[in-house]
Amino acid sequence: MDSLESELERARDLDTSALADAIETIGFECTRCGACCKAGETACGEEDEEADDAARESDAADPEPHTATVFPDEIRRLQDAGDYDFRDVARPMPYGIEETPDGPRGETFEWALQTDGCGDCTFYAEDDGVGACTVHEDRPLICRTYPFSVGLGGTSQPMGEAVDEEGMVRAHECEGLGRDISRADAEELAAALKERAVRELEEAIGVRENYRPTERDGVVVHDSEGQKRPDGTPIDRE
């Protein structure tokens, strides 16, 4: 397996024109269905407002919450954009964390966008079945580039395995695939896709270099800036 450093060099050398060609070949237009911003099956929004409120309070209402990775600096940008608290924006990535009688415990290595009581992205809004992002201009790279990813080791595949591939570009489940896309939009998406690939590998290297074992109770998030509590504050800051 290639090292993260060698994959990072490959990411930095990606030809955005070739990425745009691949995106054009696959085709994509966002239909604003909201599927990439929402959880799987939930009880929310299916009955009346009272049932919706009850579902938001029930752990069983959201077995598979929306999970989208977000970088530390992206969290801060979203905080600044809306004067949000850290935990309004992000939560520890659930992988590696388990529920215990004394509360959640474990270590994880990424942050995920915060979700509402139904498991949908907290920044997602919907009107008559048409979805919208309430922080669209400041949305993270994972959102800017969905449903595409780059086929490099150390980069993520959002929403499961690829359903289509063209060169280095992987396409993931989305009803907008196969639709016409302008060259300008393909090039903009390709540039963001390359940036995300670079950032994911830089973050992975930073996590590796800054990892320190900890026996702290509760949840610990190891990101490229060090060890943090679920509210984003460094553990070494008491």
Sketch the domain layout of the chain as residue ranges: 4-228
What is the spatial distance between Cα 193 and Cα 167, in angstroms, rounded to a whole number?
Answer: 14
Residue 122 in 3-state DSSP? coil
Q: Quote the pTM value.
A: 0.88
Beta 103-108 vs 219-223: how paired, if at all? parallel
pLDDT given at position 236: 82
Contacts of 206 (CB under 8 A, 6+ apart): 223, 224, 225
Look at residue 88 and tell me whether its pLDDT is greater than 70: yes
Lowest mean pLDDT among 28-32, 99-103, 155-159: 155-159
Per residue in 121-152, pLDDT (tens digit) is 999 999 888 999 999 999 999 999 999 999 99
Look at residue 209 and tell me whether its pLDDT is greater than 80: yes
Look at residue 47 and tell me whether its pLDDT is greater than 60: no
